[in-house]
């Protein structure tokens, strides 16, 4: 199959943006070239031999040679402005911004439809696990009964370190931040918001249901204390932050994010550290289990790379 040549305009050159740059250097087979990078901070030194940095978002939007926008910035509102402007200009978009997608899902679906351009966001949900692509392709005709998983790497890292290594909560969180796993506002991780945004994306691709963040309860890990840890240790259990969605017998969907005790029988029990794990219960294939690194520069960049590659053969989500 002949592949389209891609000229990329990249927004954001932080942990994942730089990770993508590195990953692309090691992927010579893909005809994808970063033509321009838009960054916010003028004073940061970026010694990577690329001349093409801009501070004006319009330089990329107005460049007709750029056919793919990759959005890897932190701010969800600014990200939505960029992504919607790019779609309106007919540029395909890859984004890793789960908050932006969750908060603007309906508008983003309308823009894709109206301007007939794809928006891909595999990296926004469970980083390196190709869960959206699987939900889109493999389960297209097999009805899903439930989706359950550990979808936030930072909280899983914190829970693993506090439980198994007796690290303090603050120290474990600091490590998650130093390793580039945590959001710049870590409440998004620890309060279960990031997991909720990802669950909302999973809901759309598994049940075709577009929810709003306010529709889904999220309880994070902040309320877990010594008492719960002691109970888990005594009973041979672990505590995991689990995002869950299922169809009830009445056909109604339930979805929530909540910390749970899990036993050794549960496949999520061994999903530790920064790993994520997703269980898909289906009508015909029973339960399938996806596992992989859920945060960090290269695992996230790997998912962005996969979306870029998919755009080269005009892939788009059908929902
Ligand atoms: N803060 C997120 C996490 C990053 O820890 O899972 C990846 O989405």
pLDDT at 140 over 90: no
**Percent of the chain clearing pLDDT 70 (strictly above):** 97
- Position 50 scores a pLDDT of 61
Q: What is the CA 90 to chain-centroid distance, rounded?
A: 24
Is ligand 1 within 6 A of the CB of residue 216? no
Ligand 1 geometric centre to CA of 267 (Å)? 21
Is ligand 1 within 6 A of the CB of residue 181? yes
- Distance CA(148)–CA(196), nearest Å, equals 12
State pLDDT tens for residues 72-86.
999 999 999 999 999
State pLDDT tens for residues 99-128.
999 999 999 999 999 999 999 999 999 999
Q: What ligand 1 atom has the least distance to the C-alpha of 96? A: 8
- Spatial neighbors of 224 by CB under 8 A, at least 6 apart, are 159, 239, 259
State the pTM of this model.
0.96
- Position 201 scores a pLDDT of 98
pLDDT at 45 over 90: no
State pLDDT tens for residues 177-227.
999 999 999 999 999 999 999 999 999 999 999 999 999 999 999 999 989
pLDDT at 48 over 80: no
- Position 181 scores a pLDDT of 98
- Cβ–Cβ < 8 Å for 302, 130: no
Range from 78-92, 129-143, 266-280 carrying the lowest mean pLDDT: 129-143
State pLDDT tens for residues 143-154.
899 999 999 999
Q: Rounded mean pLDDT of the chain?
A: 95
Is ligand 1 within 6 A of the CB of residue 9? no
User: Regarding predicted confidence, which is higher, 244 or 31?
Assistant: 244
Backbone conformation region of residue 296, classed left if phi is above 0, alpha if psi is from -120 to 50, else beta: left
Ligand 1 geometric centre to CA of 189 (Å)? 7
Q: What is the ipTM of this complex?
A: 0.99
Rounded alpha-carbon distances, angstroms, from residue 72 to 40, 93, 248, 297, 300: 12, 11, 36, 11, 10
Ligand 1, atom 4: closest residue by C-alpha: 295
pLDDT at 273 over 90: yes
Where in the sequence numbering do the catalytic residues fall?
Answer: 198
- Position 42 scores a pLDDT of 72
- pLDDT confidence tier of residue 49, bands split at 50, 70 and 90: low
Report, as an integer, the average pLDDT of 142-169. Answer: 94
Ligand 1 geometric centre to CA of 121 (Å)? 14
User: Regarding predicted confidence, which is higher, 187 or 30?
Assistant: 187
- Cβ–Cβ < 8 Å for 153, 274: yes
Phi, psi dihedrals of residue 9, rounded to the nearest 5°: -110, 120
Length of the chain, in residues: 319
- Spatial neighbors of 244 by CB under 8 A, at least 6 apart, are 146, 147, 148, 149, 199, 254, 255, 256, 257, 258
Phi, psi dihedrals of residue 11, rounded to the nearest 5°: -105, 120
User: Regarding predicted confidence, which is higher, 225 or 69?
Assistant: 69
- Position 164 scores a pLDDT of 87
DSSP 3-state assignment of 271?
Answer: coil
- Distance CA(104)–CA(93), nearest Å, equals 15
Is ligand 1 within 6 A of the CB of residue 123? no
Measured CA angle at 250 (ends 245, 254), to 5 deg: 20
- Position 286 scores a pLDDT of 93
State pLDDT tens for residues 51-66.
689 999 999 999 999 9
């Amino acid at each position: 199959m002949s592949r389209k040549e891609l000229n990329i305009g990249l927004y954001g050159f932080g942990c994942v943006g730089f990770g993508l740059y590195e990953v692309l250097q090691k992927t010579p087979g893909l005809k994808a070239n970063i033509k321009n990078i838009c960054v916010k901070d003028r004073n940061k030194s970026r010694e990577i031999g690329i001349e093409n940095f801009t501070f004006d978002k319009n330089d990329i939007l107005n460049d007709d040679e750029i056919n793919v926008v990759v959005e890897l910035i932190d701010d969800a509102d600014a990200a939505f402005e960029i992504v919607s402007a790019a779609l309106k200009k007919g540029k395909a978009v890859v984004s890793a911004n789960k908050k932006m997608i969750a908060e603007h899902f309906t508008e983003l679906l309308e823009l894709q439809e109206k301007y007939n351009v794809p928006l891909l966001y595999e990296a926004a949900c469970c980083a390196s696990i190709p869960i959206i692509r699987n939900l889109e392709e493999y389960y297209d005709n097999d009805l899903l009964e439930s989706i359950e998983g550990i979808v936030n790497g930072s909280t899983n890292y914190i829970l693993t370190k506090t439980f198994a290594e007796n690290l303090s909560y603050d120290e474990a969180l600091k490590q998650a931040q130093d390793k580039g796993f945590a959001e710049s506002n870590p409440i998004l991780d620890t309060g279960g918001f990031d997991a909720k945004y990802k669950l909302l994306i999973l809901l759309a691709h598994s049940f075709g249901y577009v929810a709003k963040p306010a529709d889904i309860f999220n309880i994070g890990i902040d309320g877990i204390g010594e008492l719960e840890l002691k109970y888990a240790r005594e009973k041979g259990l672990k505590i995991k932050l689990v995002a869950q969605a299922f169809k009830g017998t009445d056909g109604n969907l339930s979805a929530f994010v909540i910390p749970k005790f899990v036993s050794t029988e549960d496949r999520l029990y061994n999903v530790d550290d920064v790993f994520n794990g997703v269980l898909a219960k289906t009508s015909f294939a029973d339960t399938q289990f996806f596992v992989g690194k859920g945060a960090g520069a290269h695992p996230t960049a790997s998912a962005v790379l996969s979306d870029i590659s998919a755009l080269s053969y005009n892939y788009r989500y059908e929902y």
